[in-house]
């Protein structure tokens, strides 16, 4: 989250028009990137009209210039009234959605982590003129997409399961999510030849019907909403600490930052929900209880509302082009966190005592709270709603399985470095580890302060993009238009911001939000839909066997158990 995500993190690519207009098994259209502009009379002509099929329309276009004006051409765009079928309307709106993510002179799709387009996930200098990417960029794209807000909660989640059992679960969940993600990519093959697939939701509609497509879209939007909530909670956290740091240094200049190795243990703090001093954070100075600043600037009671002033005006833009310039910050933040944890671990050393002799920090080998980790990992390994788009531009599609495997291994290693290394080196009681690892450091810690400032700016630029993508999918589904009116957009944004503020005010625990969001969305998008689509494909091909049905049925039950298990540990935040 991603969500953060991530997201947070909430949290890319060129669209090839050829795949959507097949004729006799061959490609009949030109890539959007290669077309020449037609005159405005051609642009006014509908994609299809009564008695004129889409294939015939393409033939006519080919006979004139073998090209079609891009949908982002600024004048005389086609209106939905000109389109005579729901399927053509949906195809048109998707193309218009994709092409409008970039300026008219830039054909690269630029949106943040976790969502459909492809080239946002990789640097454009590594893409050839045909718009295809190699295996290295595909691997990087998948890794970059999955890295999100879950990274901050990984040490905490690992500790809930126990150190040894947690590492085993990390490997198992990586393998399980890898398999279902591979099934998502493979499911496209049977439908893609018919020119129907843009997203996995199209695959679900093809094999499962409208209810499958509806479930796919709903749970994809749910994952985005979860990432937005996590982002809001984290931005509240970082904004509170950054402003508090500045205020205290101005009013108490003697308190200077340092590279202190001191860590905080919230279990020993005097936190109450009413004092705004959440998760072990404390005032650097010691003002009286009547201090005006600390009455106005409280973490859970006021800062979530102040954040509305900074963020809400950015959510109503039609185009997110400006914010896409900061996408590289996502990768930089992950690298910084890995370096940050590595530096802290080198300062602390390893503190593990499996035998409970009292010579070092006691460590739990295994715990019944392991569903907390599985729920967190469900979101941490979630790439299924973007996998089709990322791999669509692969130069060698036959390598998708290999590249996906390597990417998942890289993701798992990154989570292990941050989660296991931080947990193993943490010098105090392991129960002190927070669901946001930065909460274990005071404002006087230089590296932690830099991390908060950096992440605050990165999330502030990504958050409008998450809203933008949610709005596009939601509005298109309900109204058939990505921007029905400014009123529609403002109302939707107010509702979404209200939900985020409520969570930041009454449930400011990203670990709980991540694990429930991951388990809920993963139940459908990771465990159920890929398996059901695969079973239907096998049945239609006459290759379905009972062992295959049992194995995939068991995977679906694991997803259900993962979701239900979250409710048994509501007190673990």
Supply the DSSP string of 516-562, one letter for each residue.
HHHHHHHIIIIIIHHHHHHHHHHHHHT---HHHHHHHHHHHHHHHHH
Is 60 exceeded by the pLDDT of residue 460?
Answer: yes
Is 90 exceeded by the pLDDT of residue 177?
Answer: yes
Q: Where are the alpha helices (DSSP H) in 319-366?
A: 328-348
Q: What does the mean pLDDT of the chain come to?
A: 75
Is 90 exceeded by the pLDDT of residue 33?
Answer: no
Is 90 exceeded by the pLDDT of residue 521?
Answer: yes
Q: What is the arithmetic mean of pLDDT over 504-509? A: 93
- In the three-class reduction of DSSP (H, G, I as helix; E, B as strand; rest coil), residue 11 is classed as coil
Quick one: pLDDT at residue 483?
A: 78
Quick one: pLDDT at residue 573?
A: 64
Residue 179 burial (CB count, 10 A):
18
- Indicate if the alpha-carbon torsion angle 375, 377, 380, 381 is positive or negative: negative
Quick one: pLDDT at residue 332?
A: 85
pLDDT confidence tier of residue 87, bands split at 50, 70 and 90: very low
How many CA atoms are closer than 13 Å to the CA of 226, on its beta-carbon side? 32
Quick one: pLDDT at residue 57?
A: 47
Number of helices followed by number of strands (H, E) in the chain: 19, 4
Residue 426 burial (CB count, 10 A):
25
Residue 305, both tokens: 């509302």
Output the pTM of the full model.
0.73
- Rounded-to-integer distance, Cα 391 and Cα 30, Å: 20
Give the angle subtended at the CA of 364 by the CAs of 363 and 370, to the nearest 5°.
Answer: 140
Backbone angles phi, psi at 83, to 5 degrees: -95, 135
CB 556 within 8 Å of CB 525:
no
Is 60 exceeded by the pLDDT of residue 5?
Answer: no
Residue 446, both tokens: 């230089």
Residue 358, both tokens: 């009292």
Is 80 exceeded by the pLDDT of residue 289?
Answer: no
Residue 85 burial (CB count, 10 A):
13
Secondary element (H or E) of residue 119: none
* Poorest-pLDDT segment among 12-16, 149-153, 227-231, 398-402: 12-16
Please state whether 349 falls in left (phi above 0), alpha (psi between -120 and 50) or beta.
left
- Rounded-to-integer distance, Cα 557 and Cα 563, Å: 10
Q: What is the arithmetic mean of pLDDT over 345-357? A: 85
CA dihedral 422, 427, 428, 434 (to 10 degrees): -20
- Rounded-to-integer distance, Cα 561 and Cα 507, Å: 24
CB 462 within 8 Å of CB 470:
no
């Amino acid at each position: 989250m991603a969500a953060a995500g991530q997201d947070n993190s909430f949290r890319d690519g060129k669209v090839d028009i050829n795949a959507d207009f097949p004729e006799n098994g061959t490609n009949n259209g030109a890539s959007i990137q290669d077309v020449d502009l037609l005159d405005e009379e051609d642009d006014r002509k509908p994609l299809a009209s009564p008695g004129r099929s889409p294939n015939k329309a393409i033939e006519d276009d080919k006979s004139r210039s073998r090209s079609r004006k891009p949908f982002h051409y600024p004048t005389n765009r086609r209106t939905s009234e000109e389109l005579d079928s729901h399927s053509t309307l949906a195809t048109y709106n998707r193309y218009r959605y994709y092409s409008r993510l970039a300026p008219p002179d830039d054909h690269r799709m630029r949106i943040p982590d976790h969502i459909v387009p492809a080239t946002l996930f990789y640097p454009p200098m590594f893409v050839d003129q045909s718009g295809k990417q190699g295996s290295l960029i595909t691997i990087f794209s998948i890794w970059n997409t999955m890295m999100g807000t879950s990274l901050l909660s990984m040490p905490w989640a690992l500790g809930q399961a126990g150190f040894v059992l947690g590492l085993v679960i990390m490997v198992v969940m990586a393998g399980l999510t890898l398999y279902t993600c591979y099934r998502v990519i493979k499911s496209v093959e049977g439908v893609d030849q018919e020119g129907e697939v843009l997203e996995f939701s199209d695959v679900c509609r093809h094999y499962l019907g409208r209810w499958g497509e509806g479930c796919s879209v709903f749970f994809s939007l749910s994952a985005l909403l979860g990432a937005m909530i996590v982002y809001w909670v984290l931005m509240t956290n970082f904004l509170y600490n950054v402003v508090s740091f500045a205020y205290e240094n101005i009013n108490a200049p003697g308190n200077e930052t340092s590279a202190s190795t001191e860590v905080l243990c919230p279990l020993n703090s005097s936190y109450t929900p009413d004092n705004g001093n959440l998760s072990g954070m404390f005032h650097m100075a010691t003002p009286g209880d009547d201090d005006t600043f600390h009455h106005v600037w409280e973490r859970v009671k006021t800062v979530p509302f102040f954040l509305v002033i900074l963020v809400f005006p950015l959510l109503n833009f039609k185009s997110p082009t400006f914010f896409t310039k900061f996408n590289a910050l996502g990768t930089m933040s992950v690298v910084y966190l890995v370096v940050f944890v590595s530096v802290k671990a080198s300062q602390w050393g390893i503190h593990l005592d499996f035998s409970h002799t009292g010579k070092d920090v006691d460590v739990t080998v295994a715990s019944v709270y392991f569903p907390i980790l599985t729920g967190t990992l469900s979101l941490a390994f979630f790439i299924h709603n973007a996998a089709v788009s990322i791999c669509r531009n692969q130069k060698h599609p036959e390598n998708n399985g290999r590249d996906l495997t390597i990417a998942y291994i890289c993701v798992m290693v990154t989570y292990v470095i941050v989660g296991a290394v931080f947990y193993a080196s943490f010098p105090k009681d392991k129960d002190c580890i927070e669901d946001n690892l930065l909460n274990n450091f005071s404002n006087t810690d230089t590296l932690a302060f830099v991390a908060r400032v950096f992440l605050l700016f990165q999330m502030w630029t990504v958050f409008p993009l998450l809203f933008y993508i949610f709005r596009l999918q939601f509005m298109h589904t309900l109204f058939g238009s990505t921007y029905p009116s400014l009123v529609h957009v403002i109302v939707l944004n107010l509702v979404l911001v209200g939900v985020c503020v409520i969570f930041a005010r009454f449930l400011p625990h990203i670990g709980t939000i991540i694990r429930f969001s991951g388990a809920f969305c993963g139940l459908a998008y990771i465990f159920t839909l890929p398996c059901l689509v695969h079973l239907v494909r096998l049945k239609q091909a006459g290759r379905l066997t009972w062992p295959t049905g049992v194995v995939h049925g068991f995977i679906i039950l694991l997803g259900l158990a993962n979701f239900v298990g979250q409710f048994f540990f509501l007190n673990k935040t």
